[in-house]
Chain A
């Protein structure tokens, strides 16, 4: 599985857009990029997954450049409830099965 690097922490204010970047220089051809969110004492929650270019759902957008060596999770107009740890994962679900490898994640703190 490709190693990922994310900022340890980020601070933001309510109503702002937050962009969290993940570096994955050795991503393989068949690897997907997946983001999870975790609140304290809860299990992680799937946010979004993508392979290339841009993916958008009702919660977030995922931007992936052509070389796929990094990706950016974009959270529009964050609120206090978005304070959580965000994990970037890279891997091939069809080869690796459902084994998720979590890094240290990014602690996002949203303030008023």
Chain B
């Protein structure tokens, strides 16, 4: 079974631009979560989508948004990029909530650099 895939793997953007990252979950997984990882703040939860609906949201500004499509693929968008948005963005997928597990499968991440 193919794992979680994220595209692109690396990205360089300039302050003020916007960026869209893509995530394809494991086949059959309906939940997709996004995380930001930086050396200073560690791994932080951004949001989670389940069946095309945002189910959980972390403490990030409104510049960070996401969506999920009917095939469970997900995108996240960051508008008006700031230097502090430079980070590794990770996507994770999992089965339905009723499995009572925190077992999530992470993708390799997208390394975003804002200059």
Which residues of A are interface residues toward B (Cβ below 8 A)? 32, 34, 41-46, 49, 87, 89, 91, 93-94, 96-105
Contacts and interface: CB of A to CB of B under 8 A. Distances in A.
A78 B22 CA distance: 35
Contacts of B58: 99
17 contacts: A32-B102, A34-B103, A41-B111, A43-B4, A43-B92, A44-B43, A45-B106, A46-B102, A46-B105, A49-B101, A89-B102, A93-B101, A96-B56, A98-B33, A98-B94, A100-B102, A105-B42
Interface in B73-115: 88, 90-92, 94, 97-109, 111
Contacts of B68: none
Contacts of B63: none
B102 A43 contact: no
Question: Of residues A34, A45, A97, which shows the largest number of chain B Cβ atoms within 10 Å of its Cβ?
Answer: A97
Nearest to B103: A46
Contacts of A97: 31, 48, 50, 55-56, 97
B64 interface: no
A61 to B, nearest CB: 17
Contact of B109 (A43, A46, A94): A43
Contact of A49 (B48, B103, B106): B103
A87 B104 CA distance: 13
